[in-house]
């Protein structure tokens, strides 16, 4: 089981950052919440801060840890650990992804998501709808 931390980065206007995996990555061209594998000796919240800096050149602060979701792909079983995050600095510069977009909640479901993200997205939308974020 591979622990993967991902970030649901939100703006004060409630837009959410989504990224598209490149053709060279596993799950090519799928939409995901940016993030990556938790390294040995690292806490998931430390991982998400590191990965977002590496992948997007953004400084984020995790504000809420959501329930993890386990998903089995043909290549691996992952435990996706989502963090709702706010930006505290930096400007987006992509180093691995093909593209990114800031989307409103109602635009999110209609994308070609990595399978593991779909239950996470649904939970986030429930929280957002309830006014938690
Ligand atoms: N980062 C990220 N990975 C996801 C998400 N959903 C999902 O199924 N995955 C999968 C894709 C990969 O199998 C795994 C994480 O891979 P990764 O390639 O992003 O992680 P990494 O940068 O640490 O990996 P590596 O290239 O250094 O090996 O989790 C998601 O929302 N974000």
Taking only the tens place, the pLDDT of each residue in 104-113 is 999 999 999 9
Q: Residue 10 is inside which H or E element, if any?
A: strand 2-10
Which domain does 35 fall in, by range? 2-129
pTM score of the predicted model: 0.96
Helical ranges in 7-129 per DSSP H: 44-56, 105-108, 117-129
Task: Provide mean pLDDT across the span 40-65.
Answer: 98
Is the beta carbon of 117 within 6 A of some atom in ligand 1?
yes
Is the beta carbon of 116 within 6 A of some atom in ligand 1?
yes
CA–chain centroid gap for 37, Å, is 12
Q: Residue 4 is inside which H or E element, if any?
A: strand 2-10
Is the beta carbon of 36 within 6 A of some atom in ligand 1?
yes
94 pLDDT more than 90: yes
Helix (H, G, I), strand (E, B) or coil at 22: coil
State the closest ligand 1 atom to the C-alpha of 35, by its place in the atom list counted from 1.
1
Structure tokens at 72: 């089995």
99 pLDDT more than 90: yes
Q: How many Å apart are CA 3 and CA 116, to the nearest integer?
A: 12
| Number of domains observed in the structure of the chain | 1
CATH number, position 48: 3.90.79.10
């Amino acid at each position: 089981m591979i622990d993967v931390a991902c970030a649901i980065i939100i703006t004060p206007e409630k837009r959410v950052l989504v990224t598209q995996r490149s053709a060279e990555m596993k799950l090519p061209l799928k939409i995901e919440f940016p993030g990556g594998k938790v390294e040995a000796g690292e806490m998931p919240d430390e991982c998400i801060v590191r990965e977002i800096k590496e992948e997007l050149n953004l400084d984020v602060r995790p504000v809420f840890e959501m329930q993890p979701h386990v998903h089995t792909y043909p290549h691996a079983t992952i435990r996706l650990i989502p963090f709702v995050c706010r930006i505290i600095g930096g400007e987006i510069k992509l180093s691995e992804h093909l593209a990114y977009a800031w989307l409103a909640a109602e635009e999110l479901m209609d994308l070609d998501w990595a399978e593991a993200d779909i239950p996470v997205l649904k939970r986030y939308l429930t929280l957002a709808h309830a006014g938690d974020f």
